[in-house]
């Protein structure tokens, strides 16, 4: 699983490098340089691969053999990679899609929004001030002073490392799932069929089955108005370059990475499904969730335009790359 996590990171790095080269060549409009890099470099490694694996394994004549084992292994590999993708999304992508300082993607100077006043170092936040004064201030003075210093240092550390950004609900859920699955006692309490808390797992499975349709509905909601005004802001040259780089230039780089890792012995021998999933993640269109982050950053219309066009052309590119990958593996 460490190999798969590294492959996800390498895929984002190689894609971003290709995006940087393409953006340096085409020179997109002023605020959209990093936007171009992200929409080339970050692919959809979650919901679309799950749909493709489910469709492929459902066919009894699939090249991977038993349909149940094919579906189980494919879904496990893809699901494991989603927590890595979530960390990349809420850290790297979130920072890269920020508009230039003092500006917005509309070209207007950003308005100064009211922000919470920063408390001076050593000051106690209002929510931690006691309602009643202590009856013994002399005895509790030192303890409260020490507590204030510890709380202040912890708050400073959280803000400095931006831990709130990293520990988003998808990441926390993924880490908890890995911990529960890795500890035998917790696994037998929650995950097995006869576990006393299996009702919780069963509820999660029911909700999880609705994940892919909900994400695809969200994607359809973003694309319902077509490319809209976002295409005119980006221009034909930038839009075409992003589509071409994401669907044509990134997959060969991914194929080279996976082939090199296989030659060096980092991939499990004989596990063709593992190799296929690794290859598949490099051939996906731009991530849908990057569009959600772009919407938070003020460039949602431009991202919707890219998602609209890249998913249309991905229907043809994904089919071609999948045929090639199956020919290489089998």
pLDDT at 115 over 70: no
Burial of residue 82, with CB atoms counted within 10 A of its CB: 0-12 exposed, 13-18 middle, 19 or more buried = buried
Mean pLDDT of all residues in 114-133: 52
- Predicted confidence band at 114 (pLDDT cuts at 50, 70, 90)? very low
Q: Is 307 exposed, middle or buried, given 0-12, 13-18 or 19+ CB atoms closer than 10 A?
A: buried
Residue 44 has pLDDT above 90, yes or no: no
Question: 163-179: b or e for each residue (b if 16 or more CB lie within 10 Å)?
Answer: eeeeebebbeebeebee
Question: Per-residue pLDDT averaged across 12-23, rounded?
Answer: 95
Statement: residue 242 has pLDDT above 90: yes
CA distance 129 to 117: 17
pLDDT confidence of residue 108: 45
d(C-alpha 120, C-alpha 7), whole Å: 44
Please tell me which residue, 138 or 54, carries the higher pLDDT value. Answer: 54
**Averaging pLDDT over each range in 109-113, 197-201, 245-249, which range is the top one?**
245-249
At 75, is the pLDDT very low, low, confident or very high (cuts 50, 70, 90)? confident
The structure tokens 């979130």 sit at: 94
Q: What's the pLDDT at 79?
A: 80
User: Mean per-residue pLDDT for 53-63?
Assistant: 88
State the DSSP code for 110. P
Residue 125 confidence (pLDDT) above 80: no
Percent of the chain at pLDDT above 70?
84
Q: Evaluate if residue 279 carries a pLDDT over 80.
A: yes
The reported pLDDT for the residue numbered 163 is: 63
How sure is the predictor about 19, in pLDDT bands with cuts at 50, 70 and 90? very high
Provide the mean pLDDT of the chain: 82
Q: Mean pLDDT over residues 275-284, rounded?
A: 92
Question: Tell me, what's the pLDDT at 126?
Answer: 58
Lowest mean pLDDT among 48-62, 81-95, 158-172, 311-325: 158-172
Q: What is the DSSP string of 117-180?
A: PPPPTTPPPGGGS-SS--S-HHHHHHHHHHHHHHHHHHHHHHHHHTHHHHS-HHHHHHHHHHHH
Mean pLDDT check: name the lowest of 73-77, 93-97, 227-231, 248-252: 227-231
What are 160-171's pLDDT values in tens digits? Answer: 656 666 677 777
How far is residue 22's CA from residue 142's CA, in Å, rounded to a whole number? 60
- Is the pLDDT assigned to residue 174 strictly greater than 50? yes
Mean pLDDT is lowest, of 68-82, 121-135, 169-183, for 121-135
- Displacement of CA 270 from its chain's centroid (Å): 29
Extract the tokens encoding 262: 């296989």
Q: Averaged over 109-114, what is the pLDDT? A: 42
User: Tokens 């190689």, residue?
Assistant: 14
| Rounded distance between C-alpha atoms, residue 223 and residue 299, angstroms | 14
Query: Averaged over 106-124, what is the pLDDT?
Result: 49
The DSSP string of 181-236 is HHSHHHHHHHTSTT-TTHHHHHHHHHHHHTHHHHHHHHHHHHHTTTTHHHHHHH-H
The alpha carbon of 31 is separated from its chain's Cα centroid by a whole number of angstroms, namely 22
Q: Is a pLDDT exceeding 70 seen at residue 77?
A: yes
Cα 5 from chain centre? 12
pLDDT surpasses 90 at 15? yes
Lowest mean pLDDT among 27-31, 160-164, 256-260, 279-283: 160-164
Q: CB of 73 within 8 A of CB of 84?
A: no
């Amino acid at each position: 699983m460490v190999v798969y996590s590294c492959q996800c990171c390498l895929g984002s790095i190689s894609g971003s490098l290709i995006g940087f080269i393409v953006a340096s060549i085409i020179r997109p409009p002023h605020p959209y340089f990093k936007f171009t890099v992200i929409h080339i470099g970050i692919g959809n490694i979650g919901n679309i691969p799950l749909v493709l694996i489910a469709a492929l394994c459902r066919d009894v004549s699939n090249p991977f053999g038993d349909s149940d084992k094919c579906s189980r292994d494919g879904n496990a590999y893809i699901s494991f990679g989603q927590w890595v993708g979530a960390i990349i999304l809420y850290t790297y992508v979130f920072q890269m899609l920020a508009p230039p300082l003092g500006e917005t993607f509309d070209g207007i100077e950003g308005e100064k929004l009211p922000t919470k006043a920063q408390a001076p170092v050593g000051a106690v936040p209002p929510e931690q001030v006691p309602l009643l004064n202590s009856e013994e201030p002399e005895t509790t003075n030192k303890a409260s002073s020490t507590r204030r210093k510890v709380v202040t240092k912890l708050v400073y550390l959280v803000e400095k490392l931006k831990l709130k950004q990293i520990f988003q609900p998808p990441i926390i859920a993924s880490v908890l799932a890995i911990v529960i699955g890795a500890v035998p006692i917790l696994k037998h309490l929650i995950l097995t069929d006869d576990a006393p808390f299996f009702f919780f797992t069963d509820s999660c499975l029911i909700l999880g089955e609705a994940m892919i349709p909900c994400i695809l509905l969200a994607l359809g909601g973003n694309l319902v108005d077509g490319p809209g005004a976002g295409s005119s802001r980006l221009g034909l040259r930038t839009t075409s370059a992003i589509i071409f780089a994401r669907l044509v230039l990134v997959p060969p780089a991914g194929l080279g990475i996976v082939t090199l890792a296989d030659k060096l012995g980092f991939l499990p021998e004989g596990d063709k499904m593992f190799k296929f999933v690794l290859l598949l993640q490099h051939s996906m269109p731009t991530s849908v969730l990057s569009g959600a982050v772009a919407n938070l950053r003020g460039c949602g219309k431009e991202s919707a335009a890219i998602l609209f066009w890249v998913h249309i052309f991905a229907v043809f590119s994904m089919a071609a790359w999948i045929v090639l990958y199956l020919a290489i593996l089998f």
